[in-house]
Amino acid sequence: MTAIERSGWRRAAALASLVVFGCGTDDGLGTRYPVSGTVTYKGQPVASGNISFIPDDPATGRAANGRIEDGDYSLTTLTEGDGAMPGTYKVTVVAKETKAVGLSKFGGAPSQGEAFLANKAAKSLVPTKYANAVTTNLKAEVKAQSNTIPFELVD
């Protein structure tokens, strides 16, 4: 066997090992399943906000988060849209009116403090009880399958 033939066999073996063993997607967290749904308040889609799934048992679970856009969300645990691990969760929703924070008093981007104060002053678009894991009454169960979980927020 010539050196060129051996090189070709090595490349083929390397390619086969990538197919068999994957391309480094094992991140050690365990399998996540797609989670998506809708968030409405007073029968209307929540325009924008954030949703968080906080595991009931942090020792065996991991939080997942998502962005709410026009009432729709999908969750991410580690990589965009990878879903959540199976288990039960408390769910929080934060949705505030969006007002652009202007330039800082020095003419550049707003400082972290200026952005914090603007966020603190922004009006909540949903009852504030949903923003805190202690006061929210929202719960969800993520199953080992594709999950669609809607939330209807009430006063």
Q: What is the pLDDT of residues 25-61, one digit of tens each?
A: 468 889 999 999 999 999 999 999 999 999 998 888 8
- Structural domain of residue 72, as residue ranges? 31-100+110-153
Q: Mind spelling out the 3-state secondary structure of 4-41?
A: HHHHHHHHHHHHHHHHHHCCCCCCCCCCCECEEEEEEE
Instruction: Tell me whether residue 7 is in a domain.
Output: no
Dihedral angle of Cα 21, 22, 27, 31, to the nearest 10 degrees: -90
pTM recorded for the entire structure: 0.73
Instruction: Tell me whether residue 130 is in a domain.
Output: yes
* pLDDT for 116: 74
Instruction: Tell me whether residue 66 is in a domain.
Output: yes
Number of domains in the chain: 1
Secondary structure (3-state) at 117: helix
d(C-alpha 38, C-alpha 67), whole Å: 11
| pLDDT, tens digit (0-9, with 9 covering 90-100), for 90-101 | 999 999 986 655
Instruction: Tell me whether residue 52 is in a domain.
Output: yes
Q: In the beta sheet, which residues pair with residue 53?
A: 64, 91
Instruction: Tell me whether residue 40 is in a domain.
Output: yes
Instruction: Tell me whether residue 4 is in a domain.
Output: no
Instruction: Tell me whether residue 118 is in a domain.
Output: yes
CATH of the domain at 123: 2.60.40.1120
Instruction: Tell me whether residue 10 is in a domain.
Output: no
